[in-house]
Amino acid sequence: MVSHSELRKLFCSADAVCFDVDSTVIREEGIDELAKFCGVEDAVSEMTRRAMGGAMPFKAALTERLALIQPSREQVQRLIAEHPPHLTPGIRELVSRLQERNVQVFLISGGFRSIVEHVASKLNIPSTNVFANRLKFYFNGEYAGFDEMQPTAESGGKGKVIKLLKEKFHFKKVVMIGDGATDMEACPPADVFIGFGGNVIRQQVKDNSEWYITDFVELLGELEE
């Protein structure tokens, strides 16, 4: 066990901080919002619950949910335009403070790149620092599946991305922040995991996190000290 003061030191001296997106950086679960928009909300949110609880491999759950939703390119674009995701309070200030300290900030999501890039632009995070799943469309805009080669399409994908970032940029200390089991599993290779329960509390994550917060203000406070 690492003491809380050591965890705080690690966070304050991190080279890179990686955030999950759904229910962490934004208040919603992107896939559930897409399902609601496409009229298949109930069936899909039940599957999301099962996937979050680890009852089903991530890629299988993603394939099944997308097969139900069948989102077209136009529907995804309309969702972003008409129901843009809501940033979690405090995230804008936290990201901006980290960037002022020359910390690299990444978004690593099992959600969809088109939605996550929209979120990244609101936080001044370059799209090269976004790792998420890519939806594929036929030339007429109809749904054609997703890019199964993305590491984020797999169980354990967030850890693979962090390992890749460490190899590529030689980061010494990487922090992962998120609400879900897939975020917690990314540590290691992340050096510190901070569980976030500001939008939804997942008991398994709360019980097993060495550091658990419900408000980003707490992390901002650490950086100010």
Q: Is 42 a catalytic residue?
A: no
CA 80 to chain centre: 17
Among the residues of the chain, which ranges form H helices? 4-12, 30-37, 41-52, 58-69, 73-82, 91-100, 113-122, 157-169, 181-184, 203-208, 217-224
Give the closest residue to 180 by CA, choosing from 1, 9, 22, 7. Answer: 22
At 5, list the tokens. Answer: 């003061």
Tell me if 38 sits within 8 A of 75, measured CB to CB: yes
Straight-line distance from the first to the last Cα atom of the chain, in angstroms, rounded to the nearest whole number: 24
Spatial separation of the C-alpha atoms in residues 59 and 137, rounded to whole Å: 18
Where b means 16+ CB within 10 Å and e means fewer, 63-87 reads ebbbeebebbbebbeebbeeeebee
The catalytic residue among 15, 22, 183, 191 is: 22
Pairing of β 174-178 and β 143-146? unpaired
Distance CA 159, CA 182 (A): 9
By annotation, the residues acting in catalysis are: 20, 22
